[in-house]
């Protein structure tokens, strides 16, 4: 039978509070939470995300629902699902730049809900308003006339395709989670990381700022050219100075307008937003007027006659009658036009040659859509600067070439025109696609509205632009289209001549729309800069994050006005347009890159709601943006890239560390994985071999590094190349040592930063020290990126009885590196090694090459001398000749070998005589064996061990001190070194040895009976160590660094402590020694 269950929640402990008390507490908690969300005292606003700082929530909130006691302990780090959903539902998106203002009016925000906008009002119309603008009204007719309908169609199609592809990529990013206000900057920085985000964000900011300058210049051009030409301050004093006078007028008026607009924005942005609808209405009415005018031309073309002299277009600003002379009362009178070309008003005057040979004709400027003028306007008509605008199919008789044309009323071109330049001028007219994403915080459903609204707006504007190109080409005469300032039509705006009911509809509409666009650029750009500054990724612009009490970006507005002024001082709209094209194209390129990277990486978090995207579209959009950058202007493109590159590197080196889960990090991981799988195939070729180091550090009880100079030496040896793993072992159990492990890792990493050691840190916790080192040697690294060389410090305190395991660990490490076929470097007296700041101005790096184990001894000095510390040191190579070696031939062979290795070094061959074993050697061996015996008695108690050690020491020093001193002095005197062996020398040396030492041996053994019991193998080894040490001291005592072959430990483990003594004797008296034990494989080659 069915059973019904009732869930009864467990009552909260403690007394139940009253409603007022609960409300008061809740309000305090909310205020504290708001305070935490605003920042942590550094003035940088934190992201308002439900997934951030969830560990800091109050415990009452964490433990709501006590019936989940099973998971109670996990609630410290993981919130209850109910709490998480509650925070998600209450998620609010503050508009960037007004955080303080919102915090001040917190209560109002709770009471009054902000009206949210839909797709049409929130995205479609703002995009429409930003895309349609100054270029459409002032330059599109000129572009059609110059490039022809076909090439203009290609220009517009390329630009619109670029923005459509970018909009698809942007839609995918914008619908992949919540996008706070900040638009493109936020999307790029969170997708590609802070470096790309900062670089592209600042480029986008500069583009928006220069767009403001362009709109202001457009406003002034409309004012001074079409509305009130008499308002010009500077007048052309001489013929031909009109352009310069116009530019100066632009600069003066532009500076005044930028100041006025900055004041308006400073006083109140709300007024700009209220006027936005008026400006939008102007744009829409102007476009409707154009289409109405086109329809009207089909049956009633407007009357705009053009005056032509031959095939040359004349400017009607200076005359009214288009004829050479007029007939009045049977009297022929010359016109104003005659006086402009002739030296007097009389019919017998001397006139311009071209004027005399050609007739003056008048044609209709706007023949209408049915006239068939489209075929004439299909092809391009590029020209040089200062050339006359001519009608192609009009008859013309060429005059003499010497005629001076300046001062004559022709319509001249003001700049040289070519296809790529027109692309640069046109592209700003398709920008503005980010308008919807920039206000995503004010949308009801940003993830639905942004893609729909943006793509619809681009489709609409693309249709308007493409149809306008065809309609302009089909309605307007070519010479009028190429007449940039409408001089042939009495100084009317060319688009205005086509519009219905009056040209003034377009003039006034375009004037207000450019004004509005300029104001909106000045409003949007400072907020974008403020958003970048508040993220804290670019240190030098953090000052621009501050503003008025209500969050208005005052300092950012001042900087924006200053940069805008630079654009206004350039003064030419045609020069400013390509600059902002670069910055916008770069921004769009990185939006496409961000989408392509995220799609190809298939990161788990990449789940856009907008599904109609593909990485190939993003890649195509990115390629198109890059191509357009170089098509517009290759040098501007390089400058824009240089600016972005400098900002990128600056953020990389000086910027704040940010982890935003960006795609570049994912890309790096994928690239690393791919490279690791490629490297896995086998060991590197000898030519590619370099020491990949595992540096074994010792830590003290405070988890601090005992020998920091080991890391200095590492960075000097590596110079940032290859793999470096810095490892250390903590003794204990990992569960108990978690905190110490983290602390040790932080300490090691901070020291690596100080010493500029580029690599990875790995701390291992092991029950005993020796096993920990073994784990590191076996498992450090990944795949093909494993170490091949171990670097460690010599255990200075190995003789101390308290540290009885240090020498055993050391010898076992030597054995394990040999077993793992890895090289071993042991730095003795590591604390005497130089820091990275020291510089050796002279001195030698001496290499004692005794046995060949792969040539590592040759390679290490070469690598060290790449670093500034060792750069001025010379390299010397010493090798030891045996009794039957030819020293001279050895030296020649070694010099030839070094020549083939491309190494510069002095070569010296040292001969060692096979003479008797000195008393000093016997004494050293005896002390060594006695110490070995002492170390074996470790089972005694500590006090007994110390007493035993003291006894042995006292007995030795009392009975043997004098002979030892004498022997030491004798051994320290250097042997006479011969350069080569001859038969006579060999025989003489043999007899000398035999004669002089038979009695000597007897005397010594009579004097020291205990010497006879010594292990002869140990005596021989000690003899070699003492002799070699004497030779090395003689040659290399003052060398900056001595590199020696490190002999391997004995196979029989009983002699391990003796091995340590041999190494100690071998390196005695030397300041800086690097013992090198090769892996056996060749690491250096003579082949290229």
The residue-averaged pLDDT of 119-130 equals 85
Report the alpha-carbon distance of residue 191 to residue 608 in Å, rounded.
13
Report the alpha-carbon distance of residue 190 to residue 176 in Å, rounded.
11
Q: What is the largest CA-CA distance in the chain?
A: 157
Whole-number average pLDDT of the chain = 77
CB 873 within 8 A of CB 845: yes
Q: How far is CA 202 from the centre of its chain?
A: 13
What pLDDT digit, counting tens, does each position of 260-312 carry? 999 988 887 777 777 778 888 888 999 999 999 999 988 888 888 889 988 88
Distances (CA, A) of 219 to 299, 519, 580: 33, 11, 17
434 or 621, higher pLDDT: 621
Which residues on neighbouring strands pair with residue 330, listed in sequence order? Answer: none
What pLDDT digit, counting tens, does each position of 851-860 carry? 777 677 888 8
Those residues whose C-beta lies under 8 Å from the C-beta of residue 633, and which sit 6 or more positions away, are 420, 421, 424, 578, 582
What pLDDT digit, counting tens, does each position of 241-260 carry? 778 888 899 999 999 999 99
What pLDDT digit, counting tens, does each position of 492-513 carry? 888 988 888 888 899 998 998 8
Report the alpha-carbon distance of residue 4 to residue 9 in Å, rounded.
16
The residue-averaged pLDDT of 99-126 equals 59
Residue 16, pLDDT score: 44
Q: What is the DSSP letter of 225?
A: I
Determine whether 328 is exposed, middle or buried from the number of CB atoms within 10 Å of its CB (0-12, 13-18, 19+).
exposed
Q: Coil, strand or helix: which one is 206?
A: helix
Give residue 33's pLDDT band: very low, low, confident or very high (50, 70, 90).
very low
Report the alpha-carbon distance of residue 415 to residue 427 in Å, rounded.
18
Please report, for the chain, how many H helices and E strands are present, in that order: 37, 15
The residue-averaged pLDDT of 465-469 equals 94
Residue 84, pLDDT score: 54
Helix axes 1056-1066, 806-819, angle to 10 degrees: 90
Inform me whether the pLDDT recorded for 531 exceeds 60. yes
For tokens 């930028």, what's the residue? 258
From the list 44, 194, 182, the residue with the least C-alpha distance to 655 is 194
The residue-averaged pLDDT of 645-660 equals 77
Report the alpha-carbon distance of residue 341 to residue 271 in Å, rounded.
54
What pLDDT digit, counting tens, does each position of 398-416 carry? 776 555 666 788 888 888 9
Is pTM beyond 0.95? Reply is no
Inform me whether the pLDDT recorded for 989 exceeds 60. no
Compute how many other C-beta atoms are within 10 angstroms of the C-beta atom of residue 816.
Answer: 18
527 or 178, higher pLDDT: 527
Residue 883, pLDDT score: 66
The residue-averaged pLDDT of 226-239 equals 81
Compute how many other C-beta atoms are within 10 angstroms of the C-beta atom of residue 356.
Answer: 13
Those residues whose C-beta lies under 8 Å from the C-beta of residue 357, and which sit 6 or more positions away, are 310, 397, 398, 399
pLDDT over 90, % of the chain: 15
Alpha-carbon torsion 62, 66, 68, 72, what sign? positive
The residue-averaged pLDDT of 1058-1085 equals 78
Q: What is the DSSP letter of 114?
A: P
Inform me whether the pLDDT recorded for 371 exceeds 70. yes
Q: How far is CA 589 from the centre of its chain?
A: 16
What pLDDT digit, counting tens, does each position of 729-778 carry? 998 898 888 888 999 999 999 998 888 888 899 999 999 888 888 889 88
Give residue 148's pLDDT band: very low, low, confident or very high (50, 70, 90).
very high
Per-residue H/E/C for 527-571? HHHHHHHHHCCCHHHHHHHCCCCCCCCHHHHHHHHHHHHHHHHHC
Q: What b-and-e string marks burial along 684-718, b requiring 16 or more CB atoms within 10 Å of the CB?
A: eeeeebbbbbbbbbebeeebebebbbbbbbbbbbb
Determine whether 235 is exposed, middle or buried from the number of CB atoms within 10 Å of its CB (0-12, 13-18, 19+).
exposed
Inform me whether the pLDDT recorded for 149 exceeds 90. yes
Backbone angles phi, psi at 607, to 5 degrees: -135, 65
CB 797 within 8 A of CB 803: yes
Backbone angles phi, psi at 86, to 5 degrees: -65, -45
Inform me whether the pLDDT recorded for 912 exceeds 80. no
CB 441 within 8 A of CB 181: yes
CA angle 127, 133, 136 (to 5 degrees): 125
Which residues on neighbouring strands pair with residue 117, listed in sequence order? Answer: 443
971 or 212, higher pLDDT: 212
Inform me whether the pLDDT recorded for 940 exceeds 80. no
Report the alpha-carbon distance of residue 772 to residue 809 in Å, rounded.
10
Q: Coil, strand or helix: which one is 413?
A: coil
The residue-averaged pLDDT of 523-542 equals 84
CB 380 within 8 A of CB 146: yes
Helix axes 573-601, 663-679, angle to 10 degrees: 50
Residue 1012, pLDDT score: 47
Helix axes 503-535, 242-267, angle to 10 degrees: 60
């Amino acid at each position: 039978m069915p059973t019904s269950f009732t869930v009864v929640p467990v009552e909260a402990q403690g007394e139940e509070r009253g409603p007022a008390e609960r409300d008061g507490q809740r309000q305090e908690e909310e205020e504290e939470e708001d305070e935490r969300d605003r920042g942590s005292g550094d003035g940088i606003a934190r992201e308002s995300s439900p997934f951030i700082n969830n560990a800091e929530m109050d415990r009452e909130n964490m433990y709501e629902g006590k019936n989940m006691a099973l998971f109670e302990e996990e609630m410290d780090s993981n919130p209850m699902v109910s709490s998480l959903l509650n925070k998600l539902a209450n998620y609010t998106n503050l508009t960037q730049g007004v955080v303080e203002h919102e915090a001040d009016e917190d209560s109002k925000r709770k009471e009054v809900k902000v009206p949210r906008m839909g797709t049409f009002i929130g995205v479609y119309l703002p995009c429409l308003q930003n895309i349609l603008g100054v270029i459409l009204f002032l330059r599109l007719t000129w572009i059609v006339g110059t490039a022809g309908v076909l090439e203009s169609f290609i220009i517009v199609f390329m630009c619109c395709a670029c923005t459509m592809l970018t909009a698809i990529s942007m839609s995918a990013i914008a619908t992949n989670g919540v996008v706070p206000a900040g638009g493109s900057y936020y999307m790029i920085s969170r997708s590609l990381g802070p470096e790309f985000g900062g670089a592209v964000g600042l480029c986008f900011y500069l583009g928006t700022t220069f767009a403001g300058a362009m709109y202001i210049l457009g406003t002034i051009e409309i004012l001074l050219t079409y509305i009130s030409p008499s308002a010009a301050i500077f007048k052309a004093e001489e013929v031909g100075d009109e352009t310069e006078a116009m530019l100066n007028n632009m600069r003066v008026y532009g500076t005044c307008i930028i100041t006025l607009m900055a004041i308006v924005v400073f006083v109140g942005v709300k007024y700009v937003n209220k006027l936005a609808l008026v400006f939008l209405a102007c744009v829409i009415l102007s476009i409707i007027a154009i289409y109405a005018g086109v329809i009207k031309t089909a049956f009633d073309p407007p009357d705009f006659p053009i005056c032509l002299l031959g095939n040359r277009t004349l400017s009607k600003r200076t005359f009214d009658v288009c004829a050479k002379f007029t007939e009045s009362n049977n009297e022929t009178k010359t016109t104003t036009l005659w006086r402009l070309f002739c030296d007097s008003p009389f019919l017998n005057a001397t006139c311009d040659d071209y004027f005399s040979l050609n007739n003056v004709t008048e044609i209709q400027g706007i023949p209408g859509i049915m006239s068939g003028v489209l075929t004439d306007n299909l092809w391009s008509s590029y020209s040089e600067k200062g050339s006359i605008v001519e009608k192609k199919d009009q008859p013309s008789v060429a005059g003499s070439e010497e005629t001076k044309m300046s001062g004559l009323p022709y319509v001249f071109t003001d700049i040289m025109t070519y296809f790529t330049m027109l692309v640069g001028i046109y592209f700003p007219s398709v920008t503005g696609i980010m308008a919807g994403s920039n206000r995503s915080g004010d949308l009801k459903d940003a993830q639905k509205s942004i893609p729909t609204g943006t793509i619809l707006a681009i489709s609409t504007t693309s249709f308007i632009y493409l149809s306008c190109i065809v309609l302009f080409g089909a309605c307007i005469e070519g010479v009028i289209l190429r007449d940039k300032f409408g001089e042939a039509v009495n100084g009317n705006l060319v688009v205005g001549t086509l519009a219905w009911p009056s040209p003034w509809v377009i003039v006034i509409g375009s004037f207000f729309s450019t004004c509005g666009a300029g104001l909106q650029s000045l409003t949007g750009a400072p907020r974008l800069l403020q958003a970048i500054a508040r993220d804290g990724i670019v240190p030098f612009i953090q000052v621009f994050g501050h503003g008025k009490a209500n969050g208005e970006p005052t300092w950012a507005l001042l900087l924006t006005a200053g940069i805008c002024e630079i654009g206004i001082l350039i003064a030419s709209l045609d020069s400013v347009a390509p600059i902002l094209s670069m910055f916008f194209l770069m921004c769009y390129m990185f939006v496409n890159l961000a989408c392509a990277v995220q799609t190809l990486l298939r990161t788990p978090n990449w789940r856009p709601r907008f599904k109609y995207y593909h990485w190939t579209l993003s890649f195509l959009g990115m390629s198109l943006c890059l191509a357009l950058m170089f098509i517009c202007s290759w040098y501007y493109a390089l400058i824009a890239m240089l600016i972005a590159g400098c900002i990128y590197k600056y953020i990389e080196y000086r910027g704040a560390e940010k982890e935003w889960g960006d795609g570049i990090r994912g890309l790096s991981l994928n690239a690393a994985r791919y490279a690791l799988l490629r490297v896995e195939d086998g060991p590197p070729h000898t030519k590619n071999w370099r020491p990949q180091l595992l540096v074994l550090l010792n830590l003290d009880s405070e988890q601090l590094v005992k020998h920091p100079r080991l890391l200095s030496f590492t960075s000097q040896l590596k110079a940032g190349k290859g793999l470096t793993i810095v490892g250390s072992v903590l003794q204990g159990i990992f569960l108990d040592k978690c905190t110490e492990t983290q602390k040790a890792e932080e300490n090691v990493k901070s020291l690596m930063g100080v010493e500029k050691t580029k690599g990875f840190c790995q701390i291992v916790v092991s029950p005993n020290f020796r096993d920990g080192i073994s784990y590191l040697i076996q498992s450090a690294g990944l795949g093909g990126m494993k170490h091949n060389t171990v670097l460690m410090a010599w255990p200075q305190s190995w003789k101390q009885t308290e540290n009885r395991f240090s020498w055993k660990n050391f010898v076992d490490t030597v054995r394990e590196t040999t077993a793992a076929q890895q090289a071993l470097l042991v730095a003795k007296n590591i604390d005497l090694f130089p820091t990275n700041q020291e510089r050796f101005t002279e001195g030698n790096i001496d290499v004692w090459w005794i046995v060949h184990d792969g040539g590592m001894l040759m390679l290490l000095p070469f690598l060290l001398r790449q670093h500034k510390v060792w750069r001025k040191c010379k390299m010397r190579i010493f090798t030891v000749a045996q009794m039957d070696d030819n020293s001279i031939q050895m030296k020649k062979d070694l010099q030839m070998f070094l020549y083939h290795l491309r190494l510069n070094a002095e070569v010296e061959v040292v001969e060692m005589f096979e003479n008797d074993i000195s008393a000093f050697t016997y004494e050293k061996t005896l002390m060594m064996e006695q110490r070995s015996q002492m170390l074996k008695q470790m089972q005694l108690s500590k006090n007994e061990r110390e007493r035993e050690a003291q006894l042995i020491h006292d007995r030795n020093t009392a009975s043997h001190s004098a002979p030892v001193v004498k022997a030491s002095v004798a051994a320290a005197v250097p042997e006479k070194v011969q350069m080569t062996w001859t038969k006579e020398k060999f025989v003489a040396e043999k007899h000398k040895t035999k004669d002089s030492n038979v009695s000597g041996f007897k005397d010594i053994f009579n004097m020291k009976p205990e010497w006879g019991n010594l292990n002869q193998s140990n005596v021989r080894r000690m003899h070699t160590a003492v002799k070699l040490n004497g030779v090395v001291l003689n040659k290399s005592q003052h060398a900056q660094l001595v590199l020696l072959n490190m002999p391997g430990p004995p196979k029989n483990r009983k002699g391990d402590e003796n091995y340590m003594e041999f190494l100690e004797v071998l390196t005695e008296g030397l300041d800086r020694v690097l013992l090198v034990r090769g892996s056996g494989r060749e690491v250096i080659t003579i082949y290229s």
